[in-house]
Chains A and B, each alone.
Chain A
Amino acid sequence: MKALKSPLAKQLLSNPRTREQLRQVPSSTGETRVVELRNGRTQHYVVRVVPKAA
Chain B
Amino acid sequence: MNFALPALVVFLCLLPGFIFRSRLKRVESTSLDYSPFGRVVSEGVLWAGVLHAVWIALCPAFGDVADLSIALKLLSSNLDVHGKALNAVATQIPRIAGYFVSLYAGAYVVPSVVRWLITKYRLDRYDGDWSWLFRFNDAPWYYLLTGADFDEDDEPDFIEATAIVNVAGEPYLFKGVLDRFYFKSDGTLDRLVLENTTRRKLNEDKGPRRRRSAALADAGFSAIEGDSFVIQYDQVVTLNIQYKKIDLASAAVPMPPAASTNSTEETLA
Tell me the smallest distance from the CB of B253 to a CB of chain A, in Å: 5
CB distance from A22 to the nearest CB of B (A): 6
A-B residue pair count with CB separations less than 8 angstroms: 131
- A33 nearest CB neighbor, chain B only: B256
When A1-B146, A6-B157, A25-B160 are in contact, do A45 and B218 touch as well, CB less than 8 Å?
A: no
Contact status A47-B261, CB under 8 Å = no
Chain B interface residue count: which class?
35 or more
Bound form: Cα–Cα A48–B82 in Å: 72
Q: Which residue of A lies closest to B142 (CB)?
A: A1
Is B120 interfacial (CB-CB < 8 Å)?
Answer: no
B61 at the interface (CB under 8 A from A): no
Interface size class of A (residues with CB under 8 A): 35 or more
* Interface mask (A26-47 → B, CB under 8 Å = 1, otherwise 0): 1110010111100000011111
Q: Are B180 and A1 in contact (CB under 8 A)?
A: yes
Which listed residue (B218, B242, B246) contacts A46, Cβ 8 A? B246
**Within the assembled complex, what's the spacing in Å between the Cα atoms of A33 and B157?**
14
Contact A3 B244 (CB under 8 A): no
Q: CB < 8 Å: which of A8, A13, A27, A45 contacts B249?
A: A45
- A residues adjacent to B (C-beta < 8 A): 1-6, 8-9, 12-13, 19-20, 22-28, 31, 33-36, 43-54
A-B contact pairs, 6 of them (CB 8 A): A23-B196, A34-B254, A45-B248, A45-B249, A46-B248, A52-B241
